[in-house]
Amino acid sequence: MSTRKRFSWYYFSSPQSFYPLAGALQPWCAALAVLFCGVGLYISFFVAPTDATQGEAYRIIFIHVAAAWMSMFLYLVMGFWSGVGLVLNTRLSSMVATALAPTGALFTFIALWTGALWGKPTWGTWWVWDARLTSELILLFLYIGFIALQGAIDDQRRADKAGAVLALVGVINVPIIYFSVKWWSTLHQGASVSLTSAPTMAKTMLLGMLIMALGFWMYSIAATLARVRCVILERERHTDWVAAEIDGLA
């Protein structure tokens, strides 16, 4: 039996105790996001040298790769919390999954948009239906499908379950995106950074990319925490603590 004083991971699985924690963490993540993105932008434009073959066009890499990483990573996190919500029936897990989807969709859009603007000067085309680009587009549709499906079902618990099943089935797409440049011949270049081999790019370029990715990561956490707080207030409105919280704010 757990006593009141013993720390428990389950403590923060209750929306009531997670709400203030999210509120406390959010400004720190936002501040770190501004810091990392500021340093990242400085390196992107004032430290990183001109690319020998692509000229200045390559500078899109700093947001393109960071956004593409976030789009896949956020989907995995969304799938994870959807799965936890489905198996353990914890309300907060489903709320976190719901809160992650719009931010994930936005980063997927940014990855596709910056990819098109990078493709035009380097490949000569905005878009090709090859494996990498198509699977990333499917990722965008999965995010939108998840949001639409949850929004279309009135019963919250059923909406969470249906969304979770969709999210989990869609997880298969993430390794397809990641390995698509290896499995199929494609216009898209291979991974610039991998865990198994040395990066194939200049140190300052890599540093800029990693710091931008950290910035986007912190931004995603801040945005998700802000959104999950809204979701918690909406869904827990029948509880006394939300009524007290609103009374204190309004």
Partner 1 sequence: MNWGSWQNFVAMGGYGLYVWGSYIVTLVVLVAEIVSLTMRRRGVIERLAKYYAARRRNHETET
For partner 1, the binding residues (CB under 8 A) are: 45-50, 55-57, 59-60, 63-64, 67, 102-103, 106, 109-110, 113-114, 117-118, 120-121, 219, 223, 226-227, 229-230, 233-234, 237, 242-243, 246-247, 249-250
Residue nearer to partner 1 on the CB measure, 38 or 175: 38
User: What is residue 51's three-state secondary structure?
Assistant: strand
The token pair that represents 191 in the structure block: 């991974």
* Other C-beta atoms lying within 10 Å of the C-beta of residue 136: 21
Provide the minimum distance between the beta carbon of 62 and partner 1 in the complex, in angstroms, as a whole number. Answer: 9
Q: Rounded to an integer, what distance in angstroms lies between the CA atom of residue 216 and that of residue 248?
A: 32
Q: Rounded to an integer, what distance in angstroms lies between the CA atom of residue 209 and that of residue 177?
A: 19
Provide the minimum distance between the beta carbon of 181 and partner 1 in the complex, in angstroms, as a whole number. Answer: 20
Residue nearer to partner 1 on the CB measure, 64 or 161: 64
Provide the minimum distance between the beta carbon of 131 and partner 1 in the complex, in angstroms, as a whole number. Answer: 22
Could you give the count of Cα atoms lying within 13 Å of 90 in the half-sphere of its Cβ?
21
Provide the minimum distance between the beta carbon of 237 and partner 1 in the complex, in angstroms, as a whole number. Answer: 6
Provide the minimum distance between the beta carbon of 63 and partner 1 in the complex, in angstroms, as a whole number. Answer: 5
Q: Which residues contact 59 (CB under 8 A, 6 or more apart)?
A: 44, 45, 48
Nearest to 26 by CA among 210, 242, 229: 229
Nearest to 119 by CA among 211, 187, 186: 187
Residue nearer to partner 1 on the CB measure, 84 or 150: 150
Percent helix, strand, coil in the chain (nearest 5)? 80, 0, 20
Burial environment of residue 138 by CB neighbours within 10 A (0 to 12, 13 to 18, 19 or more):
middle
Provide the minimum distance between the beta carbon of 183 and partner 1 in the complex, in angstroms, as a whole number. Answer: 27
Q: Rounded to an integer, what distance in angstroms lies between the CA atom of residue 199 and that of residue 220?
A: 25
Residue nearer to partner 1 on the CB measure, 14 or 204: 204
The token pair that represents 44 in the structure block: 């992107």
Residue nearer to partner 1 on the CB measure, 174 or 242: 242
Provide the minimum distance between the beta carbon of 178 and partner 1 in the complex, in angstroms, as a whole number. Answer: 22
Residue nearer to partner 1 on the CB measure, 11 or 45: 45
Residue nearer to partner 1 on the CB measure, 121 or 175: 121
